[in-house]
Amino acid sequence: MRAVILTSFSGLEALELADLPEPTPREGEEVVSVRAVALGPWDLSAADGYFQQLGGSTAFPQVQGWDFAGQTADGRRVLGFTAQPWMGVGALAEQIAMPAVLLAPLPGGLDWAQGAALPVTALTALPATSAPSSAIVSTFSGGCSTPTCARTCPPSSTSRTSMLGYTSTNIWARCRARPASRIPTA
């Protein structure tokens, strides 16, 4: 099985493609065939060794990557994330063994890449959108802003609203202009 590994905390230069054994799931885990991985700034921080000061692993090699979408052995389409520095497993591999409780169904209508882009950003936005009847999103352009808007906008305002659940009817956002042809609609 191929995987992207980190061989030292010296940044992106320490990333290599390697052949590793296929994962063996422990009790409560499922093997996921990874179809897409999303990268974020936390991946750069991991490669620089930032998480070692927060108790992250210092053992090498380390498989990198956090957010993923893939398919379980029984054919379910799932998404999830692995806090790689602490869990010891990263998503940048052809297969990963993950605790079943950390897997969520991939929402219908989303492709693998769209599903992989959700986990960390959506979970980051969730606390801010759990109870308010109104929300202010400043500089609506980052990864966490999209799920915040999707969660707080009324369902009639976007076709993607059914994937997160909604509690709010008022949202104010400062957005940068973007041609409508570049805004996902399905």
The closest of 83, 46, 86, 56 to 67, measured between CA atoms, is 83
Q: Give the least confident one: 6-10, 49-53, 76-80.
A: 49-53
Domain regions of the chain by residue span: 2-107, 119-182
The pLDDT score that the predictor gives to residue 41 is: 83
CB 91 within 8 A of CB 67: yes
Distance set, CA 51 to CA 12, 96, 119 (Å):
15, 21, 19
d(Cα 63, Cα 17) in Å, to the nearest integer? 10
Q: What pTM did the predictor assign?
A: 0.69
d(Cα 169, Cα 157) in Å, to the nearest integer? 10
The pLDDT score that the predictor gives to residue 85 is: 65
Mean pLDDT of 133-154: 48
CATH number, domain 2-107, options 3.40.50.10800, 3.30.420.40, 3.40.190.10, 3.90.180.10:
3.90.180.10
Mean pLDDT of 20-25: 95
Residue 97, beta-bridge partner list: 31
User: Mean pLDDT score of the chain, rounded to an integer?
Assistant: 75
